[in-house]
Amino acid sequence: MPALTGPLLLLALLAAPRPGLADGDASDSSFTRLPVREEMMAKYSNLSWETHNILLTEHSSEPVEKNITLERPSYVELTCLFTTSGDLNTVNVTWTKDGEPLENKHAINATGSTLHAQYTFAVITHMQMGSYSCFFDEEMQLRGTFHIKVPKVHGKNKPLITYVGDSTVLKCECHECAPVNWTWYASNGSMPVPIDAHVSDKYDVSGAYANETKLKIKNLLEEDGGSYWCQAVFQLGDSKEHIELVVLSFLVPLKPFLAIIAEVVLLVAIILLCEVYTQRSKKDPDDGKEFEQIEQLKSDDSNGIENNAPRLRKNESVEQ
């Protein structure tokens, strides 16, 4: 029988029965699967390699999670290390992606009291991005989850406030990454609309480095206020950041001062009215006394005239 060579040998190895963990020695340090790394590297020789680990124990009460950032296609090797004092042969390992079970293509290895569950795959498009979880099924399910996503874009967290007629610059950046492209969107109560700086002179898009972008908006109007988004485009997906722009008229900052001035004027007017009323109240008693004195004088004069009248009549009678 001729010797198997090349592809025929590889097919024979793939078709051969693969022993499970329970069939072999738990102390064997070799993986029970074929060397997946070598297979994938032969298929995608131009891709980089990413390795990430999660450590679980039989006492882990909460799921263990890890974030993985990818901006370009890569090999990804995920390993969950599970340490237990029980029998490793009774541990069942399951892998899922976004809650859906994955094909049984993971590698299993046991060294001492630690079980290594490894899942290796190539991330070529955004379809391979997501959350990958390993489950160790003993008395309870112990879970480790790897979240694979593109880099996060950072912008200004607080609203940017400016005034009508001014110019402003919105900025977004991505730390330790280089997006393939940047896109800006604007929305003023409607669906986000892409901003084309080549069509309108109102906008100017620039960036000194590949990991940042700046949007300059000129001759601001009140209707320019609203929501803006910067979008970083990567080979494996995109990432967006929201920036809120508030455009005020020049009267808006003056309103508090005008309100304060109005309150001061009102307070001064009230004080003046109180002062005038107080002054009048002080003068009123004197006016009453003068009125009483005049009335008294009038009364005295009238009494004097009445007293003189009988005397005049008496004198007339004597002279007669």
Which phi and psi angles does 311 have, rounded to 5°?
Answer: -60, -40
pLDDT (mean) for 16-42: 46
pLDDT band at 27 (very low <50, low <70, confident <90, very high): very low
CA dihedral sign of residues 197, 201, 207, 211: negative
Is residue 82 assigned to a domain? yes
Same domain, residue pair 224 and 98: no
Q: In which domain, by residue range, is 64 found?
A: 13-149
- Residue 8: pLDDT over 60: no
Tell me, yes or no, whether 90 and 126 share the same domain.
Answer: yes
Q: Is residue 7 part of a domain?
A: no
Q: Are residues 143 and 165 in the same domain?
A: no
In a domain, 267, yes or no: no
In a domain, 155, yes or no: no
Contact criterion met (CB below 8 Å) for 43 and 118: no
Residues 181 and 216 both lie in one domain = yes
Q: Which of 88, 120, 149 is the last residue of a domain?
A: 149
pLDDT value for 304: 56
Q: Are residues 145 and 191 in the same domain?
A: no
Q: Are residues 36 and 130 in the same domain?
A: yes
How many angstroms from the chain centroid is the CA of residue 242?
8
Q: What is the CATH number of the domain that holds 22?
A: 2.60.40.10
pLDDT in tens, 299-319: 666 655 555 555 545 555 545
Which of the residue ranges 158-162, 190-194, 239-243 has the most confident prediction, judged by mean pLDDT?
Answer: 239-243
37 pLDDT above the threshold of 90:
no
Report whether pLDDT(3) > 70: no
Residue 182: CB atoms within 10 Å: 20
Q: Sheet holding 168-173: strands in order across?
A: 168-173, 212-217, 203-206
Instruction: Count up the domains in the chain and report the number.
Output: 2
CA atoms of 132 and 101, how far apart (whole Å):
10
**The domain boundary residue, chosen from 250, 282, 307:** 250
Is 298 domain-assigned?
no
177-219 pLDDT, tens per residue? Answer: 999 999 999 987 778 899 988 888 899 999 888 899 999 999 9
Same domain, 18 and 141: yes
- Quote the pLDDT of residue 169: 95
**Is residue 144 located within the same domain as residue 203?**
no
Kindly report the average pLDDT of the chain as a whole number.
Answer: 78
pLDDT tens-digit readout, 110-149: 888 899 999 999 999 999 999 999 988 755 578 899 999 9
- Residue at 100 is within a domain: yes
Residue 138 included in any domain: yes
Full-model pTM: 0.65
91, 198: one domain: no
In this structure, the answer to whether residues 107 and 19 fall within a common structural domain is: yes
Lowest model confidence (mean pLDDT) among 28-32, 92-96, 255-259, 267-271: 28-32
Pair 26, 132 in one domain? yes
For residue 41, tell me if it sits in a domain.
yes
The domain boundary residue, chosen from 149, 173, 192: 149
Does 167 lie in the same domain as 113? no
